[in-house]
Amino acid sequence: MAQGKFVAYYRVSTARQGQSGLGLEAQQEAVRTHLNGGSWQLVAEVVEVESGKRNDRPKLAEALRLCRMHGATLIIAKLDRLARNVAFISNLMESSVEFTAADFPQANRLTVHILAAVAEHEAQMISARTKAALAAAKARGRKLGGDRGNFLNVRDRGNAASVAVRGGKADRRAADLAPVMRELQAGGASLRQVAAKLNVRGIPTARGGAWSAVQVKRVLERVT
């Protein structure tokens, strides 16, 4: 049975389908049937109306933002409709958002990685060809080898990269939350009241706890 929070993402191919609901109602029914039973909350439903020639997915970006903000799982009706879509796969893999499909409940972000197997295989083939070329060069007497005396610099670059990744995630989450916070402030809410309203809406902090005025202030300062 389904547990936790979900954001549903539906895709229809043309504006006409979007207006008529053709295909959309079937996707909605599939999601609701999958979520039937258990303890779950459907936070939002996002509909993408697109043509086959479009590569941008603004509504997908919105759905992923909502997932990050609420700590929710992205759910779609049919995996086969999106599994072959390069834009969907790349956006999902970069989003750090958990994922499930109503027609394939076992699918998740790990499944999406499998969909990139062809590209990974090609990279491995390139690596194998490179190693073979280096081996051939060594056999011809060419001196090979890297700079093994530069360990400290390499280590420092790795630490800096790790800090940058963590900072990037914090920046992205702050960018997701800031519009909601500013909207509440525009309505006259203080920092403490903004924190209370976020808690009422079920939007968790980065560590999954409750909001305080200080945390709201830090998020707003981060995006300023």
So which residues are the catalytic ones? 13
What SS3 state is found at 73?
strand
Q: Please, are residues 2 and 34 in contact by the beta-carbon 8 Å criterion?
A: yes
CA distance 61 to 131: 39
The distance in angstroms from the start CA to the end CA of the chain is: 42
Contacts of 197 (CB under 8 A, 6+ apart): 184, 189
CA distance 115 to 120: 10
Model confidence pLDDT, tens digit, residues 150-162: 656 656 666 666 6
Identity of residue 82: L
CA distance 224 to 220: 6
Identity of residue 221: E
Model confidence pLDDT, tens digit, residues 33-91: 999 877 899 999 999 887 545 556 788 889 999 999 999 999 999 876 665 566 677 77
Q: Which residues of 151-183 are buried (b: 16+ CB within 10 A; e: fewer)?
A: eeeeeeeeeeeeeeeeeeeeebbbebbbebbee
Q: What is the percent of the chain where pLDDT is above 70?
A: 72
Structure tokens at 90: 């790349």
Can you list the domains of the chain with their CATH numbers?
A: 3-115 (3.40.50.1390), 170-223 (no CATH)
The candidate with the shortest Cα–Cα distance to 31, out of 84, 100, 111, is 100
Least confident of 56-65, 120-129, 134-143: 120-129
- Angle in degrees, CA 106, 109, 114, rounded to 5: 85
Q: Is the dihedral of CA 125, 126, 127, 133 positive or negative?
A: positive
* pLDDT top residue among 196 and 56: 196
Average pLDDT, the chain: 80
